């Protein structure tokens, strides 16, 4: 399971010092930052379309310009997400089709709670499918939806039938329960913003004496050490026994 660390909450110099040789993800809406001028310094790079920023903050992403940008990076990215429309799966599909008509190979995005038939088609047609939380979905609801998805799209040995990516799904309970191919985390950004460090039961504050670089490494090490599932075990009871509360909302 690969963990992509999203965003750059440090200065460009500090960020490159901490993240060189690691897997990162960045959003199309922040593409101009110097931190991503040279993608070769990372072990892997995935591109998010910025759909969450569109939905949450009213950012604008022009589909044609996004297609041009993806095409310019072909071969330099692990993968890039299609431009999803959160809350409108039909528009999400239309955007996917439009990008593919340009000869691109975006990863389709499915939001938990959308029609099962849609996910049936995506799993049967694409090697990789990105999963995102549905609008207004609580953490508990997300757990149940993921349990349904991996139960439905795993073979008898618990191996997933597609390479699932989990957008913003790095809670330790999720990592230990669901065999994602990859996930991405924005949690380390909020941790640094509030001067907090991760613990097994949540977050701890009071580390103002530590540099941002040191705290960033603590967050990275925390996710590196997290137990990660390799196969899906059909046992709902075990889902509630990993950790005590989510690190990521």
**pLDDT tens, position by position, 77-136:** 999 999 998 889 999 999 999 999 999 999 999 999 999 999 999 999 999 999 998 888
Residue 55: the pLDDT is: 66
Query: Domain limits at 37?
Result: 2-239
Number of domains in the chain: 1
Q: Look at residue 201 and tell me if it is in a domain.
A: yes
What pTM, to 2 d.p., does this model score?
0.88
pLDDT of residue 207: 74
Q: Which helix (H) or strand (E) holds 121?
A: helix 116-125
Q: Could you report the per-residue pLDDT of 44-65, keeping only the tens digit for each? A: 999 999 877 776 666 788 999 9
* pLDDT > 60? residue 238: no
Q: Nearest 5 degrees, angle CA 48-CA 39-CA 80?
A: 25
144, with CB counted inside 10 A (0-12, 13-18, 19+), is middle
Asked if the structure places residue 119 within a domain, the reply is yes
Full DSSP string of 184-240: EE-HHHHHHHTT-EEETTEEE---TTS-HHHHHHHHHHHHHHS---SS----HHHHT
What is the overall mean pLDDT for the chain? 88
Share of the chain above pLDDT 90, in %: 61
Query: Is 148 within the bounds of a domain?
Result: yes
Model pLDDT, residue 140: 93
DSSP state of 49: -
- In this prediction, residue 241 has a pLDDT band, given cuts at 50, 70 and 90, of very low
Residue in 145, 164, 142, 167 with CA at minimum distance from that of residue 52: 167
82, part of any domain:
yes
What CATH number is attached to the domain comprising 187? Answer: 3.20.20.105
Checking if the pLDDT of 248 tops 50, the result is no
What is the pLDDT, as a whole number, of residue 134?
85
Mean pLDDT (whole number) for 185-192: 80
In a domain, 169, yes or no: yes
The answer as to whether 244 is a domain residue is no
Mean pLDDT of 140-159: 95
Residues 6+ apart with CB under 8 A from 93: 118
């Amino acid at each position: 399971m690969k963990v992509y660390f999203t965003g750059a909450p440090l200065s460009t110099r500090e960020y490159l010092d901490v993240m060189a040789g690691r897997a990162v993800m960045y959003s199309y809406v922040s593409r101009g930052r110097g931190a991503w001028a040279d993608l070769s310094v990372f072990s892997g790079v995935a591109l998010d379309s910025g759909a969450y920023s569109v939905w949450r903050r009213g950012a604008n992403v022009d589909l044609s310009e996004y297609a041009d940008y993806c095409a310019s990076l072909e071969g330099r990215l692990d993968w890039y997400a299609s431009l999803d429309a959160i809350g409108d799966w039909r528009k999400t599909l239309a955007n996917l089709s439009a990008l593919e008509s340009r000869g691109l190979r975006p990863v389709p995005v499915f939001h938990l709670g959308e029609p099962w038939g849609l996910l049936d088609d995506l799993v049967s047609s694409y090697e990789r499918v990105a999963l995102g939380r549905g609008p207004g979905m609580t953490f508990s609801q997300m757990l149940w939806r993921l349990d349904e998805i991996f139960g439905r799209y795993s073979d008898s040995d618990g191996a997933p039938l597609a390479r699932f990516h989990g957008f913003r799904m790095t809670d330790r309970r999720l990592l230990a329960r669901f065999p994602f191919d990859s996930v991405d985390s924005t949690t380390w950004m909020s941790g640094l913003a509030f001067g907090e460090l991760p613990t097994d039961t949540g977050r701890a504050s009071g580390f103002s004496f530590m540099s941002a670089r040191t705290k960033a490494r603590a967050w990275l090490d925390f996710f590196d050490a997290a137990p990660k599932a390799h196969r899906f075990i059909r046992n709902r009871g075990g889902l509630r026994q990993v950790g005590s509360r989510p690190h990521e909302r």
